[in-house]
Amino acid sequence: MPADDQVTPLTAIGENAPYGPAAFTTTHWSVVLEAQGASPAAQQALEKLCRTYWRPIYGFVRRHGARTEDAEDLTQGFFALLLERKDLNTVRKEKGRLRSYLLTSVKNFLADEARHAMAVKRGKGQRLIPLDEMREHGGIDAERSDRLTADQIYERRWAFTVLEQVMARLRDEYRSAGNVRFFEQMKKMLMDEPDRPSQAQVAEEFGMTENAVKQAFYRFRQRYQTSLREEIAHTVAMPGDIEDELRYLIAVVRA
């Protein structure tokens, strides 16, 4: 899991990035909000969202003082209860964003002592969120920054999770085309890392002209921007919220 102070691909989402229309998909959060009654599609969408965006919740719970094991149980219990909830009508009316909805929900969850106790009990043994798997790969840290409040940790974890999802999607696309090595070089160029290769170095490594590398990087950057907006579209109810959410994400990462 990346540290909060890691280098991030902000060059691809800065002020000069085009804020053009993004493809708005009728999946994920929009499906959850629009579904009437128990919809298999909505249930699957919500489960996927829970599996994807558990880390901000875990970070929030840890910053509130829960020990690692208790925080894991609470995180599992929170999402287990979330999947059973029937009170999304208020969120539907407000056309809420998933980021805000989860933060409000977990605050209410931790403030409710009865629900808190139930979470610890029900969290044990649940496999909804892959905490064990992530821990084995160093995916869970203490989330103990004295500089940040619980809300700030939640927001930063949210932003980095979005960016990680986008980069993972791009990696899969390049892997399918058999170009993982090329992807890694494009990623370094995008993120402006210390060991960022020059266009000449990439051209030499892959037997390309520098102009071809320049064009390939341009396409990579454009695909990254498109994928970022698509990922954000999965977490908002209305297409008009995409650009505001994108700007908010940029501000959080740069804070």
Say what the pLDDT of residue 1 is: 40
Say what the pLDDT of residue 5 is: 42
Question: How many helices (H) and strands (E) in the chain?
Answer: 13, 0
Say what the pLDDT of residue 44 is: 81
Sign of CA dihedral 206, 13, 5, 109: negative
Q: Which tens digit of pLDDT belongs to each residue from 104-124?
A: 889 988 888 666 676 666 555
Say what the pLDDT of residue 40 is: 79
225, 13 Cβ separation under 8 angstroms: yes
* DSSP string across 4-29: TTS---GGGTSTTS-----PPPS-TH
Say what the pLDDT of residue 223 is: 95
Structural tokens at position 177: 């085309």
First to last CA, the chain: 19
Which residue is listed with tokens 């960022």?
A: 196
Say what the pLDDT of residue 228 is: 94
Say what the pLDDT of residue 99 is: 92
Distance CA 253, CA 255 (A): 6
Q: Which residues of the chain have pLDDT under 70?
A: 1-27, 35-38, 85-95, 113-116, 118-146, 192-193
Say what the pLDDT of residue 30 is: 76
Closest CA to 77 of 135, 111, 116: 116
pTM: 0.78
Say what the pLDDT of residue 22 is: 46
209, 202 Cβ separation under 8 angstroms: no
Distance CA 50, CA 162 (A): 13
What residue segments make up the domains of the chain, in order of their start?
10-254
